[in-house]
Amino acid sequence: MDVQSYIYTQISLFRKFVDEVFLLTNFESKEYKIALGLIAFNPIFWNVVARLEHSTHFLTKITGSAKRGCYLLAATIFSLGIVRDYFYESALRQQPVSAILSNDKLAYIGIAYIALGQVLVLTSMYQLGITGTYLGDYFGILMDHRVTSFPFNYFDNPMYQGSTFTFLGYALYNRKPAGLIATLIVHVMYQIALKLEEPFTARIYANRAAQEAEKKDN
């Protein structure tokens, strides 16, 4: 087989796979719609609330301190994540199984992705703590230095990457094409969240550095 034929064959197989993914996904499922809605909603919610807190300090005022305000946001985000995961798992149980994904090797790969994803999420939370994980810098709770130990020495955004890996692993393990579409949406929403969060967070720390430099000069 020449290179051109090989490329054509691979493209044909990929198109067949994509067609099967969409054909075997029941987009009319109520649970699936709710799961996709929460996947899209959650990152938007915490970015909007965190920025509102940064500009108005409304959670700090309601709870009486920045730390308690951050804990309230953390509990809300965590709860929304549990609800999202519940509907995702419930929806996948009702979705059709793919013959292409019905492979023991893919199931083992799925388990590996789930394990890696959970390791990244849990070690990220351990390194950052609650306030570091749940947007504490928007409350004025800034870290003294950048975390560079595992998993941050191997992954740029291990919390988001770990969550995406977990979604992917669960889809592969259960052989559900609907899970692959959900995983793609998870990835896209986290990329959007990073586009919003990273410049804003960098500006917060730059402002602190400028204020500290000004104090030294005075």
Residue ranges of the binding site: 115-117, 197-198
Instruction: Look up residue 169 and give its amino acid.
Output: G
User: How far is 124 from 117, CA to CA, in rounded Å?
Assistant: 11
User: How far is 139 from 119, CA to CA, in rounded Å?
Assistant: 27
Which sign, positive or negative, has the C-alpha torsion 153, 179, 169, 75? positive
Annotated binding site for S-adenosyl-L-methionine: 115-117, 197-198
87 Cβ partners below 8 Å, 6+ apart? Answer: 31, 32, 34, 35, 38
